[in-house]
Structure 1
Amino acid sequence: MTELLDFTIKDLLRSFKEGTLSPSEYWQAVEARIAAFEPEVAALYAYDPESARVQAAASTERWKKGQTRGPLDGIPVTLKELIATKGTPVPLGTAAVELLPAAEDAPIAARMREDGAIVFAKTTCPDYGMLSSGLSSFHPLSRNPWNTTQNPGGSSAGAASAAAAGYGPLHIGTDIGGSVRLPAGWTGLFGFKPSHGRIPVDPYFVGRCAGPMTRTVEDAAWSMFTLSRPDWRDGTSLPPNEIDWMDLEIDVKGLRIGVMLDAGCGLPAEPEIKAAVLDAARRFEEAGAIVTEVAPILTRDMLDGLDNFWRAKFWGDIAGLNEERRAMILPYIYQWAAKGAAVTGVEAVDGFRQTIEMRRAAGKLFCEVDAVLSPTNPIVSYPADWASPTNDPEKPFEHIAFTVPWNMSEQPAASINCGFSASGMPIGLQIVGPRFGDMLVLRLSKAFESWTGGVRTWPQPVS
């Protein structure tokens, strides 16, 4: 069964086509893994195995008849809880939200169903998706499968836990400051945040993206055929594309690659992480890339301005809640947000202006380099029950300094495993490309994965 759960999407589709494995048989393996691992990691929300069995049976029949719907037919998929699925409440990770069934599928959910994917569960996130943690006032505490005393990161916490635990090959998260890449880094996954608008989201917001979280680069690339189709509900949705997402070959000779070991502010990268990133950079250099160290682009004013802007925005989101509802919000989040009430309009606008400054700084850097390598996460791990790597609501974003600039500059970025710490925890390498350079990021990631062999051994349930 473990070998079956290691199948990639291509392996599964080939087996479905040849008739050596059916979607129903594969789902049975995934369902057994969930039963064994879910009590330890608590990754899922709205898990519906009965519906999954029905969907798998329907897909099995379509494969028998040669009438498949699309490139993900029969593939089990989870969606982050924030991604609406018709009929399922969207609690936004918090006990403060009234549970009402979603009126319609969000763009990602709609594309998945159109292409025959088996949507069997949503995945957990912290309150309003505003933490890099598996801690929530609504969901059970999600844990890192590599070591369940440790945090999976977030806000796509459950997606990371589910993927690392082997709940099928594809899990979709969202990312406004690192929420796909950060948990991917802490759980050994490949997490891809494409160019802004490449994967339509609803609601959309400055910097907000969605992306696949998988065990291999190819699985993420394959999912983009489905995920990247435009949707009118996202006003930033990019036009239809004819990208061959599986064209992953690249010769890195002559590419200018910058290595950023200092984020400019926030938590400094720990020595083990710096060493792993430098080792990764040497692989690119040995393959012929021109590798140089580059200075950070983020400043304290930028990060603090973004903090003010987000506090003000979030306070506006929750200001209409009555006191009883507000009291249900995770205290860490509420304590942070409450200061948004004192942010003036001028300060909020200045905070938003800092997102433009990030874009300018990123644009200037990419006049000098073709891609950037950096740590994804500044620290190796932190306790499962912490709200963030600092666990301090007065220092809420010290851990996103390597990741958040690329949200604001709308550039594609990915996290890929580049080693393990002495404690046995995964270490993530971030690969950043120019705006709309999604294929460059995927190709560089695939090249790196081919050099290292990727993660060969994944966590197993205790039972």
Structure 2
Amino acid sequence: MTDLADLSAAELLSAYRGRSLSPVEVTEAVIARIAAWEPKLDALWAYDPDAARVQAKASEARWLRGEALALDGVPGTIKENIRTKGVAVPLGTAANDLAPSADDAPPAARLREAGCVILGKTTMPDYGMLSSGLSSFHRLARNPWDVTKNPGGSSAGAGAAGAAGYGPLHVGTDIGGSIRLPAGWCGLVGLKPSFGRVPIDPTYYGRVAGPMTRTVEDAALMMRELSKPDARDGMSLPPQDIDWLALDIDLKGLRIGLQRDAGIGLPVEPETKAAVEAAAKAFADAGAIVEPVGPHITRAMLDGLDDFWRQRAWADIGALPAEKQAKVLPYIFQWAKGGQNLPGERVYRGMSQMMAMRDAALKAILPYDFILSPVSPVPSYPAEWASPINDPAKPFEHICFTVAANMSDQPAVSVHAGTTKAGLPIGLQITGRRFDDLGVLRMARAWEEMRGPIIWPRAPSA
């Protein structure tokens, strides 16, 4: 019999509607799941089960009155860099001051307005600049598929929480792969929406918020709410009437590019390559036209972005007093300090590589409706490492499949493609044309149906 903590948001809403389940009993089941897993995973911060119980009772009352909201009573979490009223925002670092937030940032506000039971926040690494659960402020987050392995990052706690069943709905953020990488390494659906599709505050070039869930339908349910307008984001897209739950797609005749190799960075590990090729074959067997597509980002693009992001990070970290600098994660401090003495022309040329990456990505997809690729060239790695090669001199060798979509505004989704012989998840990335968020969700749903169900890691005894 399925544990209540493992039910999808769609299943919960149906059960609430039919009065076969109550948000109160579901929330208690998720609290029990967290009690079993959290001592091993350390995915949460500002976890407040008592507040969740209060929210669940209020939701139950709305259902009984026939006044239920869009996601009423569905448990979920929010990444800690997304403000929630009354809760501080450490940004993953012990160097940050802890002052309660005055309001909910747009993604948190939309979920609260929709009636979600918000259990707490999920952990992240210092300043969100690692694909890892390593942090100077939070305890080390781990992957429930294998607790010696990394959940990825920077939406580290969200990846672990989703795979472990801390409710069905989780929000992450992504500026180079920070939703898709942990989703891929934890077996989740992780959507990086088109830039501006989900209002966010503060906004920054390439930075988005998006859903991390176990199913495509649940990601679509979240997008229906997260994509609602918010005037605080001056870079958000105009509101658009999208039927997010219209997930059917006719694969016949679709043109799909298959990118096996990023051209730079870590080589694609054989089991990862085989899983992505198997997915491409399934699409071809269903009638799509699948063709190989070559690499489209270069070493100059990746290194230029590294220069710009290092200098951007050092502008903040270098301004801290020495006692606070000493609290920053050493890996991040060493990486950021590499930007301290970069000449202005080099930083400018590094920033210009974002536009070069954008142009290359948009030209690459022009002949295609979608491009398939790995999310990461390798499966997860030791939990204590900051990246798959753990070298601050080479920090971005694993993001060569993910980062271009951030620069080009394109939607891209990670969806579980299979597991390695060691039982670690492999992520398939589906990238669409600019603003075709629904299209990538439809493709992910088609693959989800061809792939079949996932057997999730079992919770230890509490």
TM-score normalised per structure 2: 0.99
User: Residues 216 and 454 of structure 1 are in contact (CA less than 8 Å); yes or no, is this contact kept in structure 2?
Assistant: no
Cα deviation, 1:176-234, whole Å, max 9, x if unaligned, reads: 00000000000111111110011111111111011111000000011111100111111
1:168 partner SS: coil
Whole-Å separation in 2 of the counterparts to 1:294 and 1:350 = 27
Please report how far the alpha carbon of residue 320 of structure 1 lies from its aligned counterpart in structure 2 after TM superposition: 2.0
User: Residues 87 and 99 of structure 2 are in contact (CA less than 8 Å); yes or no, is this contact kept in structure 1?
Assistant: yes
Aligned position for 2:40: 40
Whole-Å separation in 2 of the counterparts to 1:291 and 1:95 = 48
1:43 corresponds to which letter in structure 2? A
Aligned position for 2:54: 54
User: Residues 75 and 116 of structure 2 are in contact (CA less than 8 Å); yes or no, is this contact kept in structure 1?
Assistant: yes
1:5 corresponds to which letter in structure 2? A
User: Which runs of structure 2 are paired with 1:99-178 in the superposition (5 Å)?
Assistant: 99-178=98-177
Count of residues in correspondence between the two structures:
462
Aligned position for 2:411: 412
Aligned position for 2:192: 193
2:191 corresponds to which letter in structure 1? F
User: Residues 258 and 291 of structure 1 are in contact (CA less than 8 Å); yes or no, is this contact kept in structure 2?
Assistant: yes
Please report how far the alpha carbon of residue 14 of structure 1 lies from its aligned counterpart in structure 2 after TM superposition: 1.2
2:172 corresponds to which letter in structure 1? G
Aligned position for 1:379: 378
Whole-Å separation in 2 of the counterparts to 1:111 and 1:457 = 28
Please report how far the alpha carbon of residue 2 of structure 1 lies from its aligned counterpart in structure 2 after TM superposition: 4.4
Aligned position for 2:7: 7
Whole-Å separation in 2 of the counterparts to 1:321 and 1:211 = 31
2:339 partner SS: helix
Whole-Å separation in 2 of the counterparts to 1:6 and 1:267 = 35
User: Residues 36 and 459 of structure 2 are in contact (CA less than 8 Å); yes or no, is this contact kept in structure 1?
Assistant: no
Whole-Å separation in 2 of the counterparts to 1:137 and 1:290 = 47
Please report how far the alpha carbon of residue 7 of structure 1 lies from its aligned counterpart in structure 2 after TM superposition: 1.3
Specify whether residues 186 and 324 from structure 1 end up closer, same or farther in structure 2 by C-alpha distance, changes over 3 A only: same
User: Residues 164 and 456 of structure 2 are in contact (CA less than 8 Å); yes or no, is this contact kept in structure 1?
Assistant: no
1:215 corresponds to which letter in structure 2? R
| Alignment partner of 1:314 is 2:313 | yes
1:311 partner SS: helix
Whole-Å separation in 2 of the counterparts to 1:313 and 1:62 = 47
2:204 partner SS: coil
Cα deviation, 1:80-131, whole Å, max 9, x if unaligned, reads: 0100111111000000001111121111111111111111110000000000
| Alignment partner of 1:18 is 2:10 | no
Aligned position for 1:301: 300
1:407 corresponds to which letter in structure 2? N
2:354 partner SS: helix
2:385 corresponds to which letter in structure 1? W
1:227 corresponds to which letter in structure 2? L
Please report how far the alpha carbon of residue 343 of structure 1 lies from its aligned counterpart in structure 2 after TM superposition: 1.6
Cα deviation, 1:216-275, whole Å, max 9, x if unaligned, reads: 000001111110011111121111121010000001111110011111211111011001
Which has the larger displacement, 43-52 or 359-368? 359-368
Whole-Å separation in 1 of the counterparts to 2:36 and 2:55 = 22
Please report how far the alpha carbon of residue 5 of structure 1 lies from its aligned counterpart in structure 2 after TM superposition: 2.1
Aligned position for 1:434: 433
1:226 partner SS: helix
Please report how far the alpha carbon of residue 460 of structure 1 lies from its aligned counterpart in structure 2 after TM superposition: 2.3
Cα deviation, 1:6-52, whole Å, max 9, x if unaligned, reads: 21111111111111111111000000000011001110000000100
| Alignment partner of 1:348 is 2:334 | no
Whole-Å separation in 2 of the counterparts to 1:240 and 1:459 = 40
Whole-Å separation in 2 of the counterparts to 1:456 and 1:148 = 17
User: Residues 33 and 459 of structure 2 are in contact (CA less than 8 Å); yes or no, is this contact kept in structure 1?
Assistant: no
1:29 partner SS: helix
Whole-Å separation in 1 of the counterparts to 2:291 and 2:422 = 30
User: Residues 71 and 225 of structure 1 are in contact (CA less than 8 Å); yes or no, is this contact kept in structure 2?
Assistant: no
2:182 corresponds to which letter in structure 1? P
Whole-Å separation in 2 of the counterparts to 1:144 and 1:15 = 30
2:204 corresponds to which letter in structure 1? F
Whole-Å separation in 1 of the counterparts to 2:341 and 2:158 = 35
